[in-house]
Chains A and B, each alone.
Chain A
Amino acid sequence: DVKVTQSSRYLVKRTGEKVFLECVQDMDHENMFWYRQDPGLGLRLIYFSYDVKMKEKGDIPEGYSVSREKKERFSLILESASTNQTSMYLCASSLSWTGKFQETQYFGPGTRLLVL
């Protein structure tokens, strides 16, 4: 079974704080993703990574950065948290890009972030 873990289930931070969200997968997947999920807006892709030290912007990268120093770990960084970054953050991984099996995304349990 693929396992994707996220460092925290719930997090409360203050405006202006630097926030680190960690994600680890244990199945040697090439691709990793960070999404945020908001009511009525669904899942929106923030950043993704297709290899160690490689990253690509998703649909809403502003205010975020990412780091992938090791294949199994993908970190999302909020440089200066703002109240509009209050959301559910979901990490996912997939084996590769080709083929339906390989494209299947496996999600972590999510981190509910509240920025005060």
Chain B
Amino acid sequence: RKEVEQDPGPFNVPEGATVAFNCTYSNSASQSFFWYRQDCRKEPKLLMSVYSSGNEDGRFTAQLNRASQYISLLIRDSKLSDSATYLCVVTSSGGYQKVTFGTGTKLQVIP
């Protein structure tokens, strides 16, 4: 089993739709969780951290479910500019923290 798994997509959704991605992780000792966004042929950039209590930033909501070992990202009212690949990132304890990236979920918002 991969340490961090994501559905590669692509998710093709119309403008204004709500879309959700999940990311599962295998290490129950994982400590920190993030969502990064990567535009085509660009570097990844932090979208948001994921807190145990869940967190929201405008149209974006991130949730953590430790019992089932997954994190989720919900995007409401999708915009064309949301088209990108969304990377799940998990850090685990053990000396210097191990950072693992998922392979990403591609989102295409269609006019």
Q: Which A residues contact B (CB, under 8 angstroms)?
A: 33, 35, 40-45, 48, 50, 56, 90, 97, 100, 103-110
Distance in angstroms between the alpha carbons of A52 and B85 in the assembled complex = 33
Known contacts A42-B87, A110-B43: does B101 contact A103 (CB below 8 Å)?
no
Is B34's beta carbon under 8 Å from chain A?
yes
Which of B's residues lie within 8 Å of A, judged by CB? 8, 32, 34, 42-46, 49, 51, 87, 89, 91, 96-97, 99, 101-104
CB neighbours of B102 from chain A (8 A): 42
User: What is the number of contacts between chain A and chain B, taking CB atoms within 8 Å?
Assistant: 47
Decide if B34 touches A104 in the complex (CB within 8 Å). Answer: yes
CB-defined contacts of B32 to chain A, threshold 8 Å:
100, 103
A-B contact sample (20 more), CB < 8 A, given A42-B103, A104-B49, A105-B99? A35-B101, A40-B8, A41-B103, A43-B44, A43-B101, A44-B101, A50-B96, A90-B43, A90-B44, A97-B97, A103-B34, A103-B97, A104-B34, A104-B46, A105-B46, A106-B46, A107-B43, A107-B45, A109-B42, A110-B42
Among B42, B43, B97, B101, which residue has the most Cβ atoms of chain A within 10 A?
B43
Complex Cα–Cα for A27 and B34 (A): 21
A106 to chain B, nearest CB (A): 8
Which partner residue on chain B sits nearest A41 by CB separation? Answer: B103
Nearest opposing residue in chain B for A56, CB measure: B96
A55-B95 Cα distance, complex, nearest whole Å: 13
User: A103 touches which one: B42, B91, B104 (CB < 8 A)?
Assistant: B91
Interface centre among A33, A42, A50, A105 (most CB of B within 10 A): A42
Q: Closest Cβ of chain B: how far from A36's Cβ, in Å?
A: 11
- Chain A residues with Cβ below 8 Å from B97 are 97, 103
